[in-house]
Structure 1
Amino acid sequence: MAHRRNVPGAAGLVTAVTSPILPTPAPGVATRPRHLGLALLSLAAGGFAIGTTEFMTMGLLPRIADGIDESIPTTGHIITAYALGVVVGAPLLVAAGARLPRRELAVGLILALGLGNAVTALASGYLPVMAARFLAGLPHGAYFGVASLIAASMVAPHLRGRAISSVMLGLSVATVAGVPASTWLGQGLGWRSAYWVVLVIAVLAAAMILAFVPHLPGDRTATVARELTALRQPQVVLAVATGMVGFGGIFAMYSYVAPLVTEETGLAERAVPLFLLAFGVGSVLGTVLAGRLADWDVQRSVTGGFVASVATLLLVVPAAGSAPALLGLVLVVGALGSVLAITLQVRLMQSAGDAEMLGAALNHSALNVANGLGAWLGSVVIAAGYGYRAPSLAGAGLAVLGLLIFVVGSRVLDPGPKRQDPSATTM
């Protein structure tokens, strides 16, 4: 049975998915929704809530520090607490929820995220706020795991990458719209108001998922032990390691973009939001591109993403003295970050076999570890006196190491087909 290929844009994705020339879903695959666009938008709304709460804390950190009567460096540990929640929660919640219906699991996870934000808004004192942020982080990776699996199940095999990237688009859009808006609100009405808003977004996303996403039964034969056996597969371990190490290169540079702009480029502090916006716009563009790249060839896309990341991060070092050049490079770094995040997620889903949902969730655990690793390595080279351009150079080294790990995992331990078969009729 022939399939339509080279489908242009989101409208083309909807047309292709609803076209009668596509195969009937296989057993265990979700019935195609009547309105695919609304179903994907509903899942992306959950990603928007997650992206907003993850990154707005950084913009509100001084206000939170004042509110809980702690220093900014000490209060910064609540960001680490959230990341730790993601790392811990992703595999455990996915494994525990593998038997549950997918749509209902997604609803439960996004509501749990909303509840974690409500607890944050109500908490007073350093330790209670830190504990609340840890709780809020637990559903993060698990939600993207189940949402990615649902999205992939609603489309033909050769469109899975684009469907998954549509879910992740909510996270990217949050960096452009949700984070600035919630930060502005938190500065004007108090930092707690921003977390209440995330609760509202989470509730709305849950309602949309129930309304527009089709039912997809869970795996009634699944057990926690069986799901976690995916962690013993060498290709899964190396795919996770690729994200943990290689993606850290992006964060090594991005974590210190503010002092890079003010100290190396010589711009005023008020110029920093422009560079953050460029990163967010790049992230959105990269998310759209990543879906097509994943549908084309996952292995080549990840490899190309790392090679381009190395080159871009190296260019930051000589280009940091020029504001236009640095602005363009920051946009490219944002785009490459999204390309790598999504193509690595698809790769992990492929490597995990029957534990696809766990594979997708593990990617977010890996990226949060990468966040911490990149920021830490950047602080080391800055403390050593190498300046604010040095984190980009160190980040290029991490990207090279990540590429080497990926090559070992894909060429030696998992020498299967590199391209998805567009003529396949089942998932």
Structure 2
Amino acid sequence: MPLPLFALMLCVFSVGSAELVIAGILPTIAHDTGVSLADAGLLVTAYAVGVVIGGPVITLATSRMPRKPLILGLMGLFVAGNVLAALAPGYSVLMAARVISALTHCTLFAVCIVVASSLVPPGKEASAVSKVAVGLNLATVLGVPLGVLVDQHFGWRATFWGVVALSAAAALLVALFLPRDAVPVTAAAVDELRVLGNRRVQLAVVITVVAMAAVFTAYTFLAPLLTDVAGFDKSTVTWLMLVFGIGSLLGNLLGGRLADRALMPALTGILAVLAVALLALAVAAPSRWACVALMFVFGVAYFAVMPGLQARILTSVAGGTPTLAVSVNISAFNIGIAGGAWFGGGLLDLDLGLRVVVAAGAALAGLAALVALGELVRDRRAGAAPVAEEKETVAA
């Protein structure tokens, strides 16, 4: 991986690890700060709200800033937020620190994606996005377990200090290796806002929300499905989640390559595979071997869809003013995640069972695939297929 892309990937890894690790260290935080586990859980909620609401606002406010200084500034603020978390004397300060960190999340991810796509030849944008997004895979597979391990041996403050060190290293690599003129700033804030009126942008965001809701309707309740329905021991669930994580890593790289070759056909097909995988998991959940195989396929399909969702904005929709649109799409990921978890929990409250919850996730994935298929048909009818597809046709 080229050093500039590696530096951006490490930024995403740092921020992704900080976002996700909090769930694994909540019991320790609750004990040390003297709050209930439910109140400690609000640290997760506050972070998500900061991402969804603050992200697009900050992206718009910084639309005219040069990209490299902006990334360094955001990483500096992120480091400051985590230093404050590590030093927090109590729950209230820790909550404020989490909100400060969250405010950088959306804009940082969006700028890293846009800059990464500018560092590669036209038609390779999705692969560049997938390489940067590997940071999220590594945050899930490596960052979170390491953060929990540090918490177990040295306390939750040490986990935040680890995030600080990793983030500072990522910022140093950006300073050293990212070209200063990466993605020249040409768009005014009004141009970024105008893009959001584009029908394709709006439908791309809809696909993202529905796809992520599909994933997290099922993913949120995977652990009880594996223990209560498939009959696995609780100790085995960790290893099964590792299988899911390995699948997600492979899916991310595969999804980037497929999207580069034919964006909307790939995106539509992967969403269809996701729907089939979730439906099969709902049906075959009592079979342990089937669960293991389908956990892997679920992980592959989940992360294979992510490069295409962002590349739709970058290459086919937003043209020269993509940063705000990408930021809004990242907020859409979080809206879908929250909505999926809420929807799945609502189904459980109706006593419909865990297998029905997973099947509902499959139905949402099928709906996302249908919307993507409609966009694919509309593109071809209008003679406006994505750039990557047109290049493949010319090359053939």
Q: Using structure 1 for the length normalisation, give the TM-score.
A: 0.86
Q: How far did residue 75 of structure 1 move? A: 2.0
Selected match of 1:418 from 386, 390, 393: 386
Letter in 2 for 1:391: V
Q: Which runs of 5+ in 1 are unaligned?
A: 1-9, 11-36
**Counterpart Cα distance in 1 of 2:129 and 2:160:** 27
Deviation per residue, 1:310-335 (Å, 9 max, x gap): 10110111222122221221222122
Letter in 1 for 2:127: R
State whether residues 157 and 422 of structure 1, in contact with CA within 8 Å, keep that contact through their aligned partners in structure 2: no
**Counterpart Cα distance in 2 of 1:279 and 1:110:** 29
Deviation per residue, 1:215-264 (Å, 9 max, x gap): 12665553323312222222111111111122211111111111112111
Give the 5 Å matches for 1:185-196. Answer: 185-196=150-161
State whether residues 114 and 202 of structure 1, in contact with CA within 8 Å, keep that contact through their aligned partners in structure 2: yes
**Structure-1 residue corresponding to 2:326:** 360
Is 1:128 aligned with 2:93?
yes
**Counterpart Cα distance in 2 of 1:225 and 1:68:** 44
Selected match of 1:95 from 40, 60, 71: 60
State whether residues 51 and 102 of structure 2, in contact with CA within 8 Å, keep that contact through their aligned partners in structure 1: yes
Q: How far did residue 47 of structure 1 move? A: 1.0
**Counterpart Cα distance in 2 of 1:331 and 1:217:** 37
Is 1:69 aligned with 2:37?
no
**Counterpart Cα distance in 1 of 2:88 and 2:337:** 26
Deviation per residue, 1:251-300 (Å, 9 max, x gap): 11111111112111112211121122112111111111121012111101
**Counterpart Cα distance in 1 of 2:321 and 2:368:** 23
Q: Which runs of 5+ in 2 are unaligned?
A: none
Give the 5 Å matches for 1:154-233. Answer: 154-216=119-181, 221-233=186-198
Letter in 2 for 1:406: A
Q: How far did residue 108 of structure 1 move? A: 1.6
**Counterpart Cα distance in 2 of 1:128 and 1:390:** 41
Q: How far did residue 136 of structure 1 move? A: 1.3
Deviation per residue, 1:316-365 (Å, 9 max, x gap): 11222122221221222122111111110010223122222223222211
Deviation per residue, 1:93-114 (Å, 9 max, x gap): 2222222221221122222222
**Structure-1 residue corresponding to 2:225:** 260
Q: How far did residue 123 of structure 1 move? A: 2.8
Shift of the 273–217 alpha-carbon distance from structure 1 to 2, 3 Å rule, reads: closer
Q: Report the number of matched residues.
A: 389
* Range moving further from structure 2, 402-411 or 50-59: 402-411
Deviation per residue, 1:188-231 (Å, 9 max, x gap): 21112111111111110000011111112665553323312222
Q: How far did residue 45 of structure 1 move? A: 0.5
State whether residues 118 and 199 of structure 1, in contact with CA within 8 Å, keep that contact through their aligned partners in structure 2: yes
**Counterpart Cα distance in 2 of 1:147 and 1:162:** 13
* Range moving further from structure 2, 297-306 or 395-404: 395-404
CA RMSD of aligned residues (A): 2.1
State whether residues 279 and 358 of structure 2, in contact with CA within 8 Å, keep that contact through their aligned partners in structure 1: yes
**Structure-2 residue corresponding to 1:315:** 280
Deviation per residue, 1:81-102 (Å, 9 max, x gap): 1112221233222222222221
**Structure-1 residue corresponding to 2:317:** 351
Shift of the 64–88 alpha-carbon distance from structure 1 to 2, 3 Å rule, reads: same
Q: How far did residue 182 of structure 1 move? A: 0.8
Q: Using structure 2 for the length normalisation, give the TM-score.
A: 0.92
Give the 5 Å matches for 1:216-365. Answer: 216=181, 221-349=186-314, 350-365=316-331
* Range moving further from structure 2, 310-319 or 137-146: 137-146
Letter in 2 for 1:374: G
Letter in 2 for 1:418: P
**Structure-2 residue corresponding to 1:386:** 352
Letter in 1 for 2:80: L
Q: How far did residue 382 of structure 1 move? A: 1.2
**Structure-2 residue corresponding to 1:58:** 23
**Counterpart Cα distance in 2 of 1:288 and 1:174:** 15
Letter in 2 for 1:122: L
**Counterpart Cα distance in 2 of 1:132 and 1:57:** 13
Q: How far did residue 161 of structure 1 move? A: 1.6
Letter in 1 for 2:36: S
Q: Could you tell me the percent identity over the aligned residues?
A: 34
State whether residues 234 and 413 of structure 1, in contact with CA within 8 Å, keep that contact through their aligned partners in structure 2: no
Letter in 2 for 1:335: V
**Counterpart Cα distance in 2 of 1:259 and 1:127:** 32
Is 1:47 aligned with 2:12?
yes
State whether residues 253 and 378 of structure 1, in contact with CA within 8 Å, keep that contact through their aligned partners in structure 2: yes
**Counterpart Cα distance in 2 of 1:310 and 1:267:** 24
Is 1:106 aligned with 2:71?
yes
**Structure-2 residue corresponding to 1:22:** none
State whether residues 217 and 360 of structure 2, in contact with CA within 8 Å, keep that contact through their aligned partners in structure 1: yes
**Structure-2 residue corresponding to 1:400:** 366
Q: How far did residue 411 of structure 1 move? A: 4.0
**Counterpart Cα distance in 1 of 2:337 and 2:185:** 35
State whether residues 67 and 185 of structure 2, in contact with CA within 8 Å, keep that contact through their aligned partners in structure 1: no
Shift of the 408–120 alpha-carbon distance from structure 1 to 2, 3 Å rule, reads: farther
**Counterpart Cα distance in 1 of 2:190 and 2:223:** 44
Shift of the 98–382 alpha-carbon distance from structure 1 to 2, 3 Å rule, reads: same
**Counterpart Cα distance in 2 of 1:59 and 1:397:** 30
